[in-house]
Amino acid sequence: MSSPQHSAQSRLAALGLTLPPVGPPAGAYKPCLVVGRQAFVSGHLPVLPDGTRLRGRVGEDLDVAAGKEAARLAGLAILATLVASLGSLDAVGRVVKVLGLVNCTPDFEQHPQVINGCSELFAEIWGPDHGIGVRSAFGAVSLPLGVAVEIEAVFELA
């Protein structure tokens, strides 16, 4: 495990990031499930500081930058679930996979740039070697509650 000054939990604090509260599941699923040495995190939505969700369609209501911010917010929600489920971000050894869905117009083609908001956040927390895993990013005609993105991820435990 890394030293405290270089831990994922200390990076979160050093960046001055505030994690949103973790609510109960909105359906019949687990927000985080540990299987062996992996933590699977269900799809998370972009939560604003006031607890509401960032809604909108990229390419119509939102530009790429706003979509990217939505992905970062969804990433923060994922981090909050990891802390609630594992006790600390230091329990995570690396990001394995990120899957991002973008609520967008049919002609929108910049899905990877939007989901970079989450991937870049994870790289800030775990570093470029352990914070970036494999990834898929694609568009959807709608997402729950009309949000801009939904992101799920898989992590290897430390």
In the chain, what are the domains? 4-15+38-157 (3.30.1330.40)
Residue 1 pLDDT level (bands cut at 50, 70, 90): very low
Number of Cβ within a 10 Å radius of residue 137: 21
pLDDT computed for residue 33 by the predictor: 97
Measured between alpha carbons, how far is 49 from 46 in angstroms, rounded to an integer?
10
**The token pair that represents 101 in the structure block:** 């869905």
| Strand positions, DSSP E, 1-157 | 32-35, 38-44, 92-103, 134-140, 149-157
Measured between alpha carbons, how far is 102 from 61 in angstroms, rounded to an integer?
13
Nearest to 38 by CA among 106, 102, 108, 85: 85
pLDDT over threshold 90, residue 5: no
Q: Does pTM surpass 0.85? A: yes
Helix axes 111-130, 64-86, angle to 10 degrees: 40
pLDDT digits (tens, 9 = 90+) for 11-37: 999 999 999 989 888 899 999 999 999
Cα of first residue to Cα of last residue in the chain, in angstroms, is 7
pLDDT digits (tens, 9 = 90+) for 108-139: 999 999 999 999 999 999 999 999 999 999 99
